[in-house]
Amino acid sequence: MYAEERKRQIASLTAVEGRVSVTDLADRFGVTAETIRRDLAALHEEGVVHRVHGGAVANQSFLTSELPLDARAKASSEAKNAIASAALQFLPDHDGGGIFLDSGTTISSLADLIAKNGLAHECSIVTNSLPTALELSTAGLNDVQLLGGTVRPVTQAVVGSTALRTLALLRADVAFIGTNALTIDHGLSTADAQEAAVKTAMVTNARTVVVLCDSTKIGNDYLVSFASLSDVDVVVTDADAPPAFVEELREHGVEVVLANEG
């Protein structure tokens, strides 16, 4: 495991559990206590956790920063690929089905599997992601629609009033949604209000909402909440998701699928 991925998982665990210890983290990740102390010091400097004696506690402030698309694509790539593979089971099982594909790197992994495996050729796919639209259209899918609007450079996502007006006229059998963060109270959240608005529109106008969320995002909170747990039918995550959090999701009526990276 790379150091950056380990730090993201530490941040997620701290957010979910409220407090973590150096000893427990060293055992969990198979590294020295000194390595964990350096990780916690770095996360403290970033404002992600608050360093205390023997460990760290959660920082309750909302996150606003976003990594560039290429950096996010490399983060937790194995988990994202496994999540995308597990999410394929929720594709419409009939010709002519409608699909919303949100922007995001895990959704891009799903689009990659759809393109490479010749899936969903008879479905209508609507996306606000430039990379996803390009990949699916060049793979020969029959009906791929890219929403119009303004492109956000950091995520390559189309946002704005034109996209929202179009989505208001559309309905889908299933929406595959990515998120920057997931908590019980704040639901799904992201850093940008315009992207959040598009995500909300997709969630609102889909019969089934499937969220693709790797475990490093669990327990974090970004500034803008775009959906609550009551809006979500399924969460597909990886096996590192905290068991207590998974159980709480299920108690809220959300189906949870744990992807097997093996």
Is residue 259 scored above 80 in pLDDT? yes
Residues 6+ apart with CB under 8 A from 126: 98, 99, 100, 101, 145, 147, 167, 170, 172
**75-96 burial: b if 16+ Cβ within 10 Å, else e:** bbeebbbbbbbbbeebbbeeee
Q: Which of 8-22, 149-163, 164-178, 193-207 has the lowest mean pLDDT?
A: 8-22
Collapsed DSSP state (helix, strand, coil) of residue 65: coil
CATH of 69-259, one of 1.10.260.40, 3.40.50.1360, 1.10.390.10, 3.40.190.10: 3.40.50.1360
What pLDDT, on a 0 to 100 scale, did the predictor assign at position 262?
53
> For the chain, what are the domain ranges?
3-58, 69-259
Question: What confidence score (pLDDT) does residue 209 get?
Answer: 98
68 has pLDDT over 60:
no
Residue range 3-58, CATH number: 1.10.10.10
pTM for the complete prediction?
A: 0.76
More confident position, 238 or 220: 238
User: Residue 240, SS3?
Assistant: coil
Q: Which residue has the higher pLDDT, 231 or 15?
A: 231
Half-sphere CA count of 23, side-chain side, radius 13 A:
2
